[in-house]
Amino acid sequence: MLFLAVFLGFLAENMREHAVERNRAKKLTSSLIMDLRRDTAELNRLTSFNKLQSERVDSLRLFLKMSFDKIPQQDFYRLARQVQVTYAFVSANATINQLKNAGYLRYFSKDSLSILLSEYEYILKDNEGMDQITISVVYDKYYNFIIKVCDPDLLHLQFLDNPSVPASIGILPMAKEDLKQLQNLLVLMRRSTAVFMANYMDLKNKAVEIMNYLEN
C-alpha cells in the first residue's frame, strides 16, 4: 500500500509538472507571437520610411543634374537635410531572450521552434551589423560632406519649425569634384537602402514563418 501511495503521488506530481509546463508554453507562445507582431509592424513602418527616403534621394539626384541657378533652393536644402535621417529598427526580443536564457524551450515538444528562432536571431544580428556599416560609411560621409557644400545659414533654417528658405535663388555652384562626390554618395545611399530593405524583408518573412508555426 505504501508503494502504491508513493507511486500514485509520483504520477500526480508528474502530471502537475506537465500541466505547469503546458501552461507556461501557452503563455510563452502568446507572448512570442505578440513580440513578432510588434516586429512585423515596425518593419512595415521601416519599409514605408525607406521608400520615402529613396524617393528623396532620387529627387536630390535629379536636382544635381540641373543648372545650379535653376535648382529650387528651398526644396534642395529640405531634401539635403532629410536624406540623412535614419530609422533604427529595434526588435521586441524579450520573449526570445527568455526562451533562450531561461531554458524555456524545453516546454516545447518539437525542435523546429529552436531552429526557427536561431535563424531569426541570425538574420537580426546580421542586419544590425549592416546597419552600423551603412550609417558609419554612407550616411556619416554624406553628412560630413554636405555641411561643406551648403550655405550654413540656409542649412540652419531647415532645422526650424517653419523654415523661410528662399525658393528661387539657386544653390551655390559646387566644384566639379565636389558635385561628383556628392552624386556618388547619393548612389551609394540609394543602393544601401535597397539592400537594407531586402535583408529586413527576410527578417519579416522569418517572423511570419515563426508565427504560422506557433499558431498551427
- What digits encode the pLDDT tens for the residues 18-27? 555 566 667 7
Residue 198 CA to residue 204 CA, distance in Å, equals: 10
Task: For residues 76-91, give the mean pLDDT.
Answer: 84
Query: Residue 121: enclosing H or E segment and its boundaries?
Result: helix 112-133
Residue 202 CA to residue 199 CA, distance in Å, equals: 5
Angle CA 19–101–15, to nearest 5: 10
- What digits encode the pLDDT tens for the residues 154-182? 767 666 655 566 666 667 778 888 888 88
User: What pLDDT sits at residue 37?
Assistant: 94
DSSP annotation of 48: H
Residue 140 CA to residue 142 CA, distance in Å, equals: 5
Instruction: Using alpha carbons, select from 193, 173, 182, 191 the residue that is nearest to residue 145.
Output: 182
Residue 209 CA to residue 85 CA, distance in Å, equals: 31
Q: Which pTM value belongs to this model? A: 0.78
User: What pLDDT sits at residue 36?
Assistant: 93
CB 165 within 8 A of CB 73: yes
Rounded percentage of the chain residues whose pLDDT exceeds 70: 77
User: What pLDDT sits at residue 16?
Assistant: 53
